[in-house]
Amino acid sequence: MIRILIDSDACPVKDEIYRVAGRYGLHVLVVANRMIAVPASPLIERVVVDQGPDVADDWIAEHVAARDIVITADIPLAARCVEKEAFVLEPKGRVLDGDAIGMALAMRNLMTDLRSAGMVTPGAASFGKSDRSRFLSALDTLVNKARKPTLAGLRAPEP
């Protein structure tokens, strides 16, 4: 069964995820290192992990399965999930797949190096209505893609 795993730290699209998951009957795991409010639903599960850097990311990376959908803005976590053949979507609607993750990692590393060298780099643009709309469209597309049977699941019958 396909699940949606949310790296919930500062995720601005949780309500949208809950609505889409409810429409398709998908289980949602909301992973955080503190108690956060989630709707009362048998489809939504809150996972509270220990405090510490990357503890929630590590939990998601350990529990994600192929064809699950992960919502995160964390590029290293996204790379770990793509390796496990999960679908990854940023809150602003960018899909991070095998083709896009290398460039995203390279850009993240470049910006980290520039900041370490003392350069002032522009911050992320604020989250707006168009981002929310792009996210909803991309999530709906990914859910439908994840639900399609794979070629590996379509084996010829034994003679």
The first and second tokens of residue 159, run together, are 């003679």
Q: What is the pLDDT of residues 42-96, one digit of tens each?
A: 999 999 999 988 899 999 999 999 999 999 988 899 999 999 999 999 999 999 8
Helix, strand, coil shares of the chain, percent, nearest 5, are: 40, 15, 45
**Which CATH code for domain 3-96+132-148?**
3.40.50.720
Dist. CA 99–CA 83, nearest whole Å: 12
Helix (H) or strand (E) holding 87: strand 87-89
Three-class DSSP category at 44? strand
Separation between Cα atoms, residue 9 and residue 60, nearest integer Å: 13
- Write the CA distances from 1 to 7, 56, 124, integer angstroms: 19, 22, 34
For 123-149, what is each residue's pLDDT tens digit? 667 878 999 999 999 999 999 999 987
Instruction: Write out the two tokens for 116.
Output: 């370490």
